[in-house]
Amino acid sequence: MERLRGDDPVRLGPFRLLGRLGSGGMGQVFLGRTSRGALAAVKVIHPGYAADPHFRERFDREIETARSANGPWVASVIDADASAGQPWLATEFIAGPTLYQAVRSNGPLPTRAVQVLAGRLSEALAALHAKGLAHRDLKPSNVVLAEDGPYLIDFGIAQAGDATPMTHTGTVLGPPGYMSPEQAQGEPAREPSDIFSFAGVLTFATTGRGPFGDMSGPVAMLMKISNDEPELGRVPEWLRPVLIPCLAKDPWSRPSAAQLVSRCAPSLGALAAWPPPAVTEATASGELTTVINPPSPASARRSRRLGYALVGCVAAALLLIGAVVMFRSGSPPYFSTLDDLRAEISSQLLSDRSYQMTTTSEWSAIGAEPLKVTTEGSVRLDGAGPSAQLTSRTVEPHTSPSSTPASPPPGGPGSAGTAALDTTPTPAPIVMIITPQQAWVSASGWPNPARIPPGKNWIAVPPDSADPVIAAYSREIRSQRELANPAARFSEYGDAVSLAGSAEDILEGVPTRRYTIRLDLAMAVQRESSPLVRRYLWEAVQGGEQVRDVLLWLDGRGRPVRVRSELRMNGDSITVTDTRYRGWGQAMQINPPPADQVLVDPPK
């Protein structure tokens, strides 16, 4: 980043400009900040274009196109003004190095990181293409590797497929090494061009160079793209079958982005391994957590001088590690009321619709071995409520009961009358499916599987039951539903729940805001409709617990990234649940199990 120059604007719309990020054929890109502290990339159109009234009309249409481009793994448009003296477009920052910087600094990405990159980019393109949009400038420097996944940025030259493009036919647009043959020949670039560039980006991620090399001049490169076959000898064998059809010379012979989504879906193991070392090293260096604090100037001139100093300090820090950083919107949003907080979370969750959830629960009790249960899951949210599929579970002893202990797992200590729990660390397959109305658990994990009829692989769990095993599962399902939609947590308790406070925090190197949500347990007992949950709440009150605090962390986009709660029971046990959220916007479908495989009346 460079500091502002003497002829640069100080403010555009609601954004105070802090520094220069870069420039392109269309104009200059600045780092901007709102009065609430949100950072943005503010793109200012070159005066030569701004003087053309026809260009302003096209730019206005382009703004509307860019607004509609918001989707999973795409940097969102925040604001824009085509009628301003200097037309501008602002998009959110993404915290992390670009793919180009990461590979140049650390070499090709690890295999699992490439799997996540392929999956997320295909999801981003599928969402854009479904709206009739094409990015048209997909390249390694337009992909940012953030803590929660890779993001597609710089949608400033995107266009509606049936609209007049802002760049005229015959104009070569994009970096030569990553453009499609039709772009190289000056033809309009549409959705298939993004697919060709997608393959080029993945080739770079795995080899450090594009599919047509990187040593040719622009004219020679355009000739190679139009006439030569791609150089994929260094691409891993598992990836070549995906890339080869994407690099077809005929644009309509390439697969669609929707087809790539199913072929490139990353495994949970790959998602768990994200972020790659290039991102974690940048985080450890403090690069991603740098916040540019705005001065309170007595005059515009003093503001400019202080801005120079602050930006200069940040630029010096970035130069030490040789990279320019993209920031996700700086300060996370602040909400003073619980209703506003819930509304923001609900809006963000319904916008992303799906995400990954990892819950680590530790349970400790007097006279019992402490246990830790780690559960991985996928969540899909719509207006009816959350659906979840828990895909793995690991149960093992833990040795630090004061650090983080969850409710006793079914069949474990605290579930009277059930079989003893094997505490050997053992990963399991799908263990639970939850929809807004029903829930099922895998028969393979039932404490007495020998009594389950052949062919019945799933057991339906009713909301309330006197049976200790079913009651334990029912309580866990209730907990998972709450964790899957933090905005709805405790919503049925009315004034028994309050917002106790908030504070800025850094979570794994990313700026967040931590909210404390407080539940009055005595009041909650009176409002709880489930006899099972009411009994647990009452036992907590009898044990001397008056309130339960739930800590909730939001990222710069207002999305929950962590929820942590603690519950003490009768003074002799403690349950601590810690849930992390990631993988936003992943395409998924969660379906009930086949009806003929479901046992409705489970064995006692």
Annotated binding residues for ATP, as ranges? 43
> 386 by DSSP, 3-state: which?
strand
Distance of CA 559 to CAs 97, 279, 349, Å?
Answer: 21, 20, 7
8 in active site = no
Whether the CB-CB separation of 122 and 198 falls below 8 Å is answered with: yes
**Residue positions in the annotated binding site?**
43
The residue from 7, 52, 60, 137 that is catalytic is 137
Bridge-partner residues for 139, per DSSP?
none
- Amino acid identity of residue 279, one-letter, is V
Cα dihedral across residues 312, 318, 320, 323: positive or negative: negative
If phi > 0 it is left, if psi is from -120 to 50 it is alpha, else beta; for residue 79 that is beta
Burial status of residue 588 (CB atoms within 10 A of its CB: 0-12, 13-18, 19 or more):
middle
DSSP structure class, residue 405:
-
Whether the CB-CB separation of 393 and 375 falls below 8 Å is answered with: yes
Bridge-partner residues for 219, per DSSP?
none
Whether the CB-CB separation of 354 and 380 falls below 8 Å is answered with: yes
Omega prior to 275 cis, within 30 of 0: yes
DSSP, residue by residue, 238-272: TTHHHHHHHT-SSGGGSPPHHHHHHHHPPPHHHHH
Whether the CB-CB separation of 55 and 49 falls below 8 Å is answered with: yes
Bridge-partner residues for 569, per DSSP?
573
Say how far apart CA 552 and CA 511 lie, in whole Å: 13
Active-site residues: which are they?
Answer: 137
